[in-house]
Structure 1
Amino acid sequence: MNWDVIEGKWKQFKGEAQVQWGKLTNDDLDRIEGNRDKLVGAIQERYGIEKDEAEKQVDAFHNKHAT
């Protein structure tokens, strides 16, 4: 599954994202709208981590939910 599927079904994946990254608010998740780059940026901001680490986490999230 490519990222477009997650973006298209973001409302379904929002809850999973909030479980994984509890510091992201509902407003953050609404603003992200399933956009991978916005998700990476929000994780960087909330968790104070480097972009590479945020991208690794997003990739792991994607792989976990790729069916």
Structure 2
Amino acid sequence: MSRPLAEIIQNNWRQLAGLARIVWDELTLDELIKSEGDVQKLTTLVQQRYDMPRDDAQKQVMSFCERHRTS
């Protein structure tokens, strides 16, 4: 049985934070690391920094997570 996506992302977040920094270049690496790969924290950061609706930010975050999932 595969692990939930959120768990996979959080377990690999140190490596993924650098990739997230490329996608969301207005966020600092420190902010990304502190988010711990938590989807809600990351969504809030993206929403606030890019001044976008929460639904749009969440779609971006989920798309990033899906693209970078590893089992």
Name the TM-score, length of structure 2 as normaliser. Answer: 0.85
Match for residue 44 of structure 1 among 22, 43, 47: 47
5+ long unaligned stretches in structure 1: none
Q: Answer yes or no: is 1:2 the counterpart of 2:5.
A: yes
Counterpart CA distance in 2 for 1:29 and 1:59 is 15
In 2, distance between residues paired with 1:5 and 1:31? 17
The Cα of 1:56 is off from its aligned counterpart by 0.5
Query: Which aligned pairs between 1:23-38 and structure 2 lie closer than 5 A?
Result: 23-38=26-41
CA distance in 1, matches of 2:12, 2:54: 24
2:27 aligns to what SS in structure 1?
coil
Structure 1 segments, 4+ long, off by >3 Å, are: none
Higher Rg of the two aligned structures: 2
- Alignment TM-score, normalising by the size of structure 1: 0.90
Structure 2 stretches lacking a partner, 5+ long: none
